[in-house]
Amino acid sequence: MTALWAGNRSQWQTAMAFDEQPLARTPPPPPLDPASGDGAPTRWIVLTALGVVAVAGLGYWWMTRAQPGPLIPAPTVATEGALTTNRPQPQHWELPALDGSDSLFRDAVAALSKHPQLARVLATSGLVRAAVLAVEQIGEGRTPANPLQVLRPASRLAIAGAESGAIDPRSYARWDAATRALVSISPTDAAQLYVNVKPLFDAAYADLGHPGGDFDASIARAITMLVATPEPATTPELLRRPGYFEHTDATLRGLRPVQKQVLLTGPDNQRLLMIWLRQLATALDLPLG
């Protein structure tokens, strides 16, 4: 299994998925047919956060089968001064092996949300490892590989003109469902659950080449990268290139690939996603650069 993961990791790290009409300085290969499943910006933002949510859901499933009681314990009265951290205290539960956790995730997320987009995400395999890889690549500014083809929109990116023009607002609506699936989950509940099952994330992070590493640092880097995406004052204009689009604005052209993908979700979805990610970082006391 470790050898298989190492092989998959190598393939994923070299196969960076873009939206069906990627924005880049250097033209990528010709666009893939929609049925072939190239990358999707919100899919990876959602994966970044849903990796936390999915594993957290496992903690909830494990807690409710192990003992009765509320999801989040009632706070105790501090004896001296105010609490100095937002991060919830972990509750210690026996966890399954990393490579045997997929089926438990599917049950766990059903307890967190009934949103159909989440069910589609969790129909894939190797969920924790895929989430960790995606978070790491996003923190580096890259658009990650593509194990979530099921979330790719049926329609393609469109602009107002033939050769150049503003992004067609209808293109933004392609990401509405995925965005709503994420923000329907409480960031504070996700934080409480995440700390209970964090060893699974740390194990996958170590296998990715960070022995003894703390996955919190990778999450903080990824969120920092995403929330640094600017919010354009007007709808971005794109130039049609052979096989891809390019921003007319030099500042936007200079963004990292994953930040360009964030802009394709549209201003409303971008704001909802950034609010959710900041709330998650606050709930976990993660410092953002």
Higher pLDDT, residue 223 or 162 = 223
- Is residue 15 situated within a structural domain? no
The reply to whether 72 falls in a domain is no
**Closest CA relative to residue 235, chosen from 221, 250, 220, 248:** 248
Spell 161-183 as b/e; 16+ CB within 10 A means b: eeeebebeeebbebbbebbebbb
Confidence of residue 23 (pLDDT cuts 50, 70, 90): low
Q: Helix 127-139 to helix 215-227 angle, to the nearest 10 degrees?
A: 50
Closest residue by Cα to residue 156 from 24, 245, 250, 268: 245
* Lowest-pLDDT choice from 101-105, 146-150, 225-229, 264-268: 146-150
> H/E element holding 224?
helix 215-227
Examine residue 245 and state whether it is found in any structural domain, yes or no: no
Domain assignment of residue 148, given as a range: 2-9+37-67+89-157+175-233+266-283
What is the overall mean pLDDT for the chain?
Answer: 76
Residue 22 above 90 pLDDT?
no
Q: How many CB atoms lie within 10 A of CB 274?
A: 18
Residue 130 · residue 105 · CB < 8 Å:
no
Where residue 109 falls among pLDDT bands split at 50, 70, 90? Answer: low
Say if 274 falls within a structural domain. Answer: yes
| Between 220 and 73, residue with greater pLDDT | 220
Q: Is the pLDDT of residue 263 over 80?
A: yes
How wide is the angle at C-alpha 186 spanned by C-alphas 185 and 190, nearest 5°? 90
Query: Which residue, among 141, 147, 125, has the nearest Cα to 54 in the 3D structure?
Result: 125
Give the pLDDT confidence of 125-139 residue by residue, as tens digits: 888 888 889 899 999
In a domain, 27, yes or no: no
| Model confidence pLDDT, tens digit, residues 47-89 | 455 454 444 444 443 344 444 344 444 444 444 444 588 899 9
Q: In sequence order, which residues have a C-beta less than 8 Å from that of residue 138 and are 6 or more positions away?
A: 44, 45, 48, 144, 222, 225, 226, 258
Query: Is 194 in a helix, a strand, or coil?
Result: helix
**Number of domains the chain contains:** 1
How far separated are the first and last CA of the chain, in Å rounded? 35
Q: Decide if 169 is inside a domain.
A: no
Per the CB < 8 A criterion, the answer to whether 5 and 137 are in contact is: no
Averaged pLDDT for residues 90-96: 83
Distances (CA, A) of 218 to 100, 176, 203, 271: 23, 26, 13, 22
| 3-class SS of residue 258 | helix
Check pLDDT > 70 for residue 150. no
Residue 166 resides in a domain: no
Question: Is 227 a member of any domain?
Answer: yes
